[in-house]
Amino acid sequence: MFTLSHFPKNKDKFFRLIDFFKEVLDICNDLDIAPVLNGSLAVFAYTENKEMSVNDVDLSCSETEFPRIMNVLEERNVRYKLREWHVLQILKDDLTVELDSIEYWYKDLPMDCETLQLDNYKINMLSLNSLKEFYKQGLKDRVEKTDENGKTKYKALKLKFEALEKIQG
């Protein structure tokens, strides 16, 4: 089990983001959906790198659950965007929690999990090896992107992957 004992460099936004993340987890819990944490927050949980920024929270669940989640978001007047790239973005001010489709994004990747304890929340989180594989695949998918946004995302993915590679798991 992992807990967060440090904070990233964008501490103020991070605290607001974690509060919003808990709201999304409450919705998932109410619907009996157990999403899996991946992305920057998972990388931060493993590396504890205080120089890192965590700007959003990335989760995964079955894409078949998106309509149920969207119904609750509408009832609670929470903004969201359903993206064509198999992602449901849940939005509040400058904060984003993304739900990725497990079927689409993880079809060829291992889905081994650990647990992240965050206050009284227990969240499934990709294991270190699964997270490394996730980032390795992301790097392969982005390596040929030549536009500025693609280059920026590739660089960010590479930094996170390299940080994960330094951890013995």
Determine the pLDDT at residue 152.
82
Determine the pLDDT at residue 146.
67
Determine the pLDDT at residue 131.
93
State the pairing for strand pair 95-101/57-61: parallel
Domain ranges of the chain: 2-127
Show the tokens assigned to 144: 């040929």
pLDDT digit string, tens, across residues 8-23: 999 999 999 999 999 9
pLDDT digit string, tens, across residues 74-94: 999 999 999 998 999 999 999
Per the DSSP assignment, residues forming a β-bridge with 118 are 121
161: Cβ contacts below 8 Å, ≥ 6 apart: 132, 135, 136, 138, 139
Determine the pLDDT at residue 145.
67
Span 156-162, mean pLDDT?
Answer: 87
Whether the per-residue pLDDT at 65 is higher than 90: the answer is yes
pLDDT digit string, tens, across residues 102-153: 998 888 887 899 999 999 999 999 999 999 998 888 888 777 766 777 778 8
pTM here?
Answer: 0.92
pLDDT grade for 169, boundaries at 50, 70 and 90: low
Angstrom distance (rounded) from CA 128 to CA 165: 9
What are the two backbone dihedrals, phi and then psi, of residue 108, each rounded to the nearest 5 degrees? -115, 20
Show the tokens assigned to 126: 């990709």
The CATH class of 2-127 is alpha beta
